[in-house]
Structure 1
């Protein structure tokens, strides 16, 4: 079995500094040993490859449960080329697994996207496709955000059965508005099939949200965005989620969608084991300012902020490594911020071999420098991205 040893890296630790020097051994794409601090260095007699981490921070590969596109490519295009581009962009930004995420569309376009993922999965050169996140079309027009109202409709069990028949086990998460007619029935139907049901683009009241969580919803998509806001006489989805210990929430930590004080509030209320960092990125991620067609809308990106013509926020351009950096800047301890980008999304999706740097886990790893820039990314023990100017 091929053996790789990674030396001279900083590993997360419960010490006062939060990190400790260590070594990691990988055998046949799986983490075999993790030695921290004063532990004896891993012997290298049997090593096929040895990597010097140069003192960088080694963390598990990050997992993005909500991404629409990158590098000019939208996964709703229904092409392998778009998925290849997103896979490469994710690897470049420290993400090793992701959910290909749809937007509200015609059934024909959604089926085209699902078919493309089914054909592509298993052929990734970068980050792995962990499945599909269907965002819409069962969303409330009152909280539609950038979702195209033309395609929004009430939950339809017959349509969802056809979607699942087409996509099989690829569907890992569905975002919907549970207060719509048929919403609670859809929640229960998806929950029974092991699919994560998430609430967003919803005008649900506190009481309606609590009912949805009792029916099986367990997640909130881009929390605070696309939902009834908190009011002291009308607490809405967010407060209902805060009160449910089993409900996890997504956070777009880009200093645009959430103020840092709200990021800290989410962390205090839900903790690192129920808060998930996401990008919610559109194809402008990695491209810069300009004009893009996304979800049937013309989207303008200025200074990294994507909006429709009326000023509505239209997804994000943040990357996972930048979101991690901003979470730490907002005051979240490094160890917990990393957990929110790795272990917690893995737990939400039931990815039992990912998200932790421990023996027996898949060797999906990322080396970061002190600015959270990605030096290299490893998937299943193989380096799939290396920063050109890095000598590590």
Structure 2
């Protein structure tokens, strides 16, 4: 058993000052307003009054620390897992870019090989961003691999991925797109819309058929016009449709983030990184999605100026969101609870009795002190809790 004491606990409804948590068998069993008398043998970890949040869930990340998950190796998957844990993310979707079928299948094989044996954050599944995307709104996606929805090809992908395929981003207005939305929804996959030139009416039809998510909202889609409202306005009108937000102060103006929050609330917005391998490394030249990408001042662009993913981390996205005026508990919900709900991760995304002990301790600047998954600390800053080293070297199996 582990007892976390003297932490500010961000629950769904309140921030508990000087709170404590009891963890048994990888799950949270009790939350206290003060420091209780724990059962004999409980390992005590003092949080020093810092903020404890549920582990964040990133449904859209491509790479980190110089590793691209489409590079054909399992090492890249593991490195992203570790990078996620270091930035407060405890579960993530390994996200592809548009590619040849064989490259996607190789990525799927690598992800499945690493699942159940992650060195850091848990892999909740795979997010296929493409290849069924609209050339007109391709963004950084490589046009050489864009194609129309193909049921036979998707069945090959599903056969290889199985239940690991959790989300697919498509442009539903393409020939065969609506049929693909219906098919994927029937398979229990979250269908997301982006890199799409869909009209308002086409988006509404896609939502009727089962699409329920918008990938990197406002980016890679028809913009709002007062006589042509497009995908975003259609999504605003649908309570079941959630929106991804890249809150890096580049992809979305602060006023747009606040508008999204007012329209959807924290239960309808999912903070993401959409990070490429430059996350954690910074400025330089990278190859991503078959393109040369230049990162300057933390902003990733193709040589023609097109934005090419981001370098933001989940803890930075959380901090940025709060600095834009969104309340702490709402921002935490957007980073942890809502993405867990979108993916159907019933035991994650909340600090409450019965939930997995996936929690993150943050300092006043939202830097990660340590990250715990299933009651085991998988990342920590060297100076944290030096009197309890045994707690921080437990590498036993983490519950999923």
TM-score range, shorter chain: over 0.9
Alignment of 1:111-260 (within 5 A): 111-260=105-254
**C-alpha distance in structure 2 between counterparts of 1:266 and 1:45, whole Å:** 45
Query: Is the contact made by 1:12 and 1:20 (CA closer than 8 Å) also made in structure 2?
Result: no
Equivalent residue in structure 2 for 1:4, among 2, 5, 21? 2
**C-alpha distance in structure 1 between counterparts of 2:167 and 2:366, whole Å:** 29
Which residue does 1:269 correspond to in 2? Answer: 263
Residue 42 of structure 1: CA displacement? 2.6
SS at match of 2:70: helix
Equivalent residue in structure 2 for 1:303, among 287, 290, 297? 297
Residue 78 of structure 1: CA displacement? 2.4
**C-alpha distance in structure 1 between counterparts of 2:354 and 2:248, whole Å:** 33
SS at match of 1:76: coil
**C-alpha distance in structure 1 between counterparts of 2:247 and 2:173, whole Å:** 27
Query: Is the contact made by 2:169 and 2:194 (CA closer than 8 Å) also made in structure 1?
Result: yes
Query: Is the contact made by 1:96 and 1:379 (CA closer than 8 Å) also made in structure 2?
Result: yes
1:24 and 2:18 equivalent? Answer: no
Which residue does 1:354 correspond to in 2? Answer: 348
Give the stretch that moved more between structures: 331-340 or 73-82: 73-82
Q: Structure 1 pair 106/223, CA: closer, same or farther in 2 (3 Å)?
A: same
Cα shift readout 1:286-330 (whole Å, capped 9, x = no counterpart): 011000000000000000000000000000000000000000001
Residue 20 of structure 1: CA displacement? 1.9
**C-alpha distance in structure 2 between counterparts of 1:88 and 1:291, whole Å:** 22
Equivalent residue in structure 1 for 2:376, among 372, 375, 382? 382
1:84 and 2:78 equivalent? Answer: yes
Which residue does 2:321 correspond to in 1? Answer: 327
SS at match of 2:293: strand
Query: Is the contact made by 1:13 and 1:20 (CA closer than 8 Å) also made in structure 2?
Result: no
Q: Please, what TM-score do these two structures have when normalized by structure 2?
A: 0.95
Residue 12 of structure 1: CA displacement? 2.5
Q: Structure 1 pair 214/13, CA: closer, same or farther in 2 (3 Å)?
A: closer
**C-alpha distance in structure 1 between counterparts of 2:19 and 2:358, whole Å:** 17
Residue 13 of structure 1: CA displacement? 5.9
Query: Is the contact made by 1:78 and 1:114 (CA closer than 8 Å) also made in structure 2?
Result: no
SS at match of 2:266: coil
Query: Is the contact made by 2:148 and 2:174 (CA closer than 8 Å) also made in structure 1?
Result: yes
Query: Is the contact made by 1:25 and 1:42 (CA closer than 8 Å) also made in structure 2?
Result: no
SS at match of 2:77: helix
Residue 63 of structure 1: CA displacement? 0.2
Residue 80 of structure 1: CA displacement? 1.4
**C-alpha distance in structure 2 between counterparts of 1:15 and 1:67, whole Å:** 28
1:314 and 2:308 equivalent? Answer: yes
Query: Is the contact made by 1:78 and 1:115 (CA closer than 8 Å) also made in structure 2?
Result: no
SS at match of 2:267: coil
**C-alpha distance in structure 1 between counterparts of 2:123 and 2:149, whole Å:** 26
Query: Is the contact made by 2:6 and 2:47 (CA closer than 8 Å) also made in structure 1?
Result: yes
Number of residue pairs aligned between Structure 1 and Structure 2: 386
Q: Please, what TM-score do these two structures have when normalized by structure 1?
A: 0.97
